[in-house]
Amino acid sequence: MELSQIREEIDQVDAQIVELIEKRMELSGEVAESKRGTGKAIYDRQREMEKLERLGKLAGSEFNRHSIEELFLQIMSISRRYQYKILGDREHVLSDQYQCVDSLKITPETRVVYQGVPGAFSEMALLYYFGEAVQMSHVEQFEDVVKCLAEGQAEYGVLPIENSSAGFVNGVYHLLEEYDVSIVGGVNLTVSQALLGIPGASLSDIRTVYSHPQAIMQTKPYLEEHDWHIVSMANTAVSAKKVQEDQDKSQAAVASVRAAKLYGLDILQENINLQKHNTTRFVVISKDKVYTKDADQIALSFSLPHESGTLYNTLGHFIFNDLNMTSIESEAIIDKQWEYRFFITFEGNLSDQKVINALTGIKSETVDFKILGNYKNQS
């Protein structure tokens, strides 16, 4: 048979497949309507696995069996997404939990908490977002920020979540998943790290450098050029404060220029970070489940079993609904071997029907699903 003839027959088969898929989608729509009244779940994993096994047995070879199972796995996944689109948020996951507001409630009496001490980059992010006309306080640990909200000691908190050169800040996403708080705002802050010492100190005097692990990672190439002992601290400004209190010429801190001014330190070297446009993304969190009309970033978390295709099928909801995913992070679940929790951000607003369709599907097909917030970044 000539190649042209073979291709012609393939085209004919493909046309038949298209016709049959359209028929299948029509039937899937009828299934969705039948489930509307009964409240029956769209996703029935046990039934789908049994169906895949039956279809695989119809194949004439092992290769074709795998091909058919993979093909129908995707067809069934697409059918589910179509049903989610038809039924929408019938469980009212979004409307019952999240309220759309014109703007956040911020007054001179508003209490905002951050981790570290004055001069910390978290304080700078707070000032950038709220200005100075709020009641500011600071705590020692990231978890203390979230606890302040949970206990009603503050209305908002500020936490760093990701750096452009050092990656995600360890443990912060886990806190957002663990506590009943929501991301309501964001700040992209340009971070310029400097090496600070006491007045009169020089680079040749330095033996020990203190800073937060993220700042150490951001300035690693510079620090490795010197034979210095590196010590991790809870915060960059805490490091600067220690150097100021110890008044030891052999000590230095990696921190901000603002910290140098606040603690009376000399700037031994500016702009020592690896990336000259080093940026840290901070989030503003609240106990209230609200989002503004102009919010355009959504963060969520969920868990998946260690099974073939689970993450692929979950991410398919973003593709199917034309949503742009902007980041993904994973962490192992401590008490469940080979199972992982995923943290994802994507562009959208909770009032958008495409977002509702995607989140409805993801919630139905994952474990421990949680929307972490809908917010807008300020740069």
Indicate which residues carry an active-site annotation.
280, 282
Q: Among positive and negative, which fits the CA dihedral 113, 114, 116, 122?
A: negative
* Strands (E) located in the chain: 99-101, 111-115, 135-139, 156-163, 167-168, 182-190, 194-197, 208-211, 229-232, 251-255, 266-269, 279-286, 290-292, 297-304, 325-332, 340-347, 367-375, 377-378
Token pair 């959208």 is at which residue?
348
Looking at the DSSP bridge assignments, the partners of residue 298 are 346, 374
8-state DSSP, 169: P
Please state the length of the chain: 379
Taking only Cα atoms into account, the Rg of the chain, rounded to an integer number of angstroms, comes to 26
Phi/psi class of residue 185: alpha, beta or left (left: φ > 0; alpha: ψ in -120 to 50)? beta
Contact call for residues 303 and 367 (beta carbons, < 8 A): yes
CB atoms under 10 Å from CB of 22, counted, come to: 10
Q: How far apart are CA 77 and CA 310, in angstroms?
A: 11
188: amino acid identity, one letter? N
Contact (Cβ atoms closer than 8 angstroms) between residue 172 and residue 280: no
What contacts 319, CB < 8 A, 6 or more positions away? none
Could you give the CA distance from residue 321 to residue 235 in angstroms, rounded to a whole number? 41
